[in-house]
Amino acid sequence: MRIFALLSLAAWATGCQKFTNVDEACKDKVSGEKHLSHASSVDAVARLNCYRRLARVGVLSIDRTVQEVTEDHVAYMLGLDDLSGYIPGQEQSDQVGFTGTDLNSRLEAKNYSQVVGTLDRWELTPVRWPLNGRDNIDYLFPDPWVRQLYLQPLVIGAGFDEGLSKSELDGGWLSYLTILYDSSMTVAPFVYPVDGQIDVDPSYTDEIQGGALGQYGEVGFPITLFLNSPVPVLKDYSLRGPDGNVEVVIHLPGDVSWGAALSGTIAITPLDPLEGDATYTFTSEVEMDGQVVRLDSTFTTASKTSRPSFYSGTSTTYR
């Protein structure tokens, strides 16, 4: 019963209003903000909720216990000599700051109110780079597998924390997002960019070493289909712009090594940058559990890409 109540609250918080761009969908207040320890973390979650309102999937609320275990884990990561040997879910008990081998054990040690074993989870493993706060969210959002996490509609509890590493080997920002969700529940499928959106970046470059789309160089802004099925079948699709059909590459769950992170989604990436200030129409038919659904979106690109540069050295003041 509590799960349904939380989901209803998320839907109420989003409301029926349709937004046309990310900034228009922003509000300053974050539910559970008092549990966040740093201003940059508040800025990051607030920015993430801008995208979630635009996609109409309900905003993230920070759960006190999930936040506690997230901060504990960031502290553990900051205590490591370097990140090269780190394996998620295999944290070492002899390491300073150890509070549990994996997320489930850390939650259970805190007597988390939900039955942890019944919930699915997404964790964005700590990464090191110059960006934190809002810039971190804006930088990562276009990546298809990160977007699956950021726009997960069935959130039960969430936590987010950042820390500035002082290590010579791993100096820079570590960020960690924890999302618990219940995949046994059903949601209506949707597509991002949303229909009517007017601020879509024309291009995307995956600058992360080993990133999902790094091999393609500069591409167009990826499109994501969010579906209520672990094994969706893309039966038909097209992306049309001012010059006609746009060539794309399709990634399904399991297609590539990082495809498991696309569970319940399909990523459609234009192989060339899109034109600025131009309108594109995406249409698709997807089969899910024997039923065919249509997902369409007509969106407009911005004049130029606004995504922060990984190499700019930009960072928010950490407090």
Q: What is the pLDDT of residue 260?
A: 60
Can you tell me the distance from the alpha carbon of 52 to that of 197, in angstroms, rounded to the nearest whole number? 13
Bond from prior residue into 270 cis (ω within 30 degrees of 0): no
* Direct distance between the N- and C-terminal alpha carbons of the chain, in angstroms, rounded to an integer: 38
Does residue 308 lie within any of the structural domains?
no
Number of structural domains (the chain) is 2
The CA distance from 229 to 65, in Å, is: 30
Q: Let me know whether 217 and 122 are in one domain.
A: no
pLDDT given at position 4: 24
CB of 202 closer than 8 Å to CB of 305: yes
pLDDT value, residue 256: 62
53/128 same-domain check: yes
The pLDDT score that the predictor gives to residue 267 is 92
Position 9 scores a pLDDT of: 33
CATH of the domain at 234: 2.60.40.1220
Q: What is the CATH number of the domain that holds 47?
A: 3.40.33.10
Q: Using omega within 30 degrees of 0 as the cis cutoff, is the peptide bond preceding 193 cis?
A: yes
What is the reported pTM?
Answer: 0.89
Decide if 242 contacts 275 (C-beta within 8 A).
yes
7 and 141 share a domain?
Answer: yes
Residue 65, pLDDT score? 94
Per-10-residue mean pLDDT for the chain, 319 residues long? 29 64 93 93 95 95 94 88 74 89 90 77 70 89 88 90 70 83 84 97 86 88 89 92 96 69 86 98 92 95 89 45
pLDDT at position 298:
98
- In this structure, the answer to whether residues 137 and 22 fall within a common structural domain is yes
Q: Which domain holds residue 137?
A: 2-181
> What pLDDT, on the 0 to 100 scale, is given for residue 20?
96
